[in-house]
Amino acid sequence: MQDKALLHEDLCDRIVAVHDIFKRANERISFYYCLLSFIDKNILSIDKWRINKFLMLVRRIFRHIFSYTSKNSWNESICQKYIEMIDKNIFNNEERQFSNVMISHIVSVFMDEFDKALNNVPCEPEQQFIWYAPFLKALEKRATSDYVFERITKEIFEGILIIIEMENNDDTAIDKSNYRFPLSHISNSIFNIAKSDSTKSKRRKVLYNIVEKFKLAEKKYN
């Protein structure tokens, strides 16, 4: 890793661009998964001076994923391959769990990079919704740690609500998004998770609260 910020940014961009050299989709997916897995395995042993450099690489991976899929017009079959990696290999892997530190960082950069890509190349709410599937599945699982559950609810779903509120607040100088959030799809999915008998009572209360906020946002802004 480079010590100078600009050189490090360039290095990260060159590393993630290796993805485009591979001809087969499974090779591209495997390359990114191996990178993320390597960082995860070593993240707790990286000193505090260098950890941000590795976390920047994680951000650039997701930036490139969204750039690549948006350039392909958000083609569902292409998107699903990356969504499956996020779902089965990172958030809902029964055999090897990513660390809370790594998952927390992925969650924190996801909406930021997704929002940027959607503003550059908008897509329909239905196309956008499939990207939230891994997070909804994680909320549904009893085995998901309270920490990860909290990060997903706050960074992903409450993050969406914050974006909407800020865009519609006359006191903020933020341009409105070029796309529409799938508010009803999300609220219905979270409602179904909340009402499930397998959902812990403490989490059910949090989820119902989010559902109410989504329904209110849908009435106000859709």
The string of pLDDT tens digits covering residues 131-157 is 999 999 999 999 999 999 999 999 999
Q: Which residues of the chain are under the pLDDT cut of 50?
A: 1-2
Residue owning tokens 């990172």: 90
Q: Which of 186, 85, 198, 203 is nearest to 148 (CA)?
A: 203
Give me the pLDDT at residue 5, please.
65
The string of pLDDT tens digits covering residues 114-128 is 999 999 999 999 999
What does the DSSP 8-state code read for residue 89? I
Q: 174 with 115: CB under 8 angstroms?
A: no
- DSSP letters spanning 146-195: HHHHHHIIIIIIHHHHHHHHHHT-TTS--PPPSS---HHHHHHHHHHHHH
Give me the pLDDT at residue 17, please.
95
Residues 6 or more apart from 180 whose CB is under 8 A from it?
125, 222
Give me the pLDDT at residue 4, please.
56
Q: 100 with 147: CB under 8 angstroms?
A: yes
Give me the pLDDT at residue 97, please.
81
Give me the pLDDT at residue 54, please.
86
Q: Which of 60, 53, 61, 104 is nearest to 85 (CA)?
A: 61
Give me the pLDDT at residue 127, please.
96
Q: 78 with 123: CB under 8 angstroms?
A: no
Give me the pLDDT at residue 48, please.
72
Dihedral angle sign, alpha carbons of residues 104, 109, 110, 111: positive
Give me the pLDDT at residue 85, please.
96
Based on its alpha-carbon atoms, the radius of gyration of the chain, rounded to whole angstroms, reads: 18
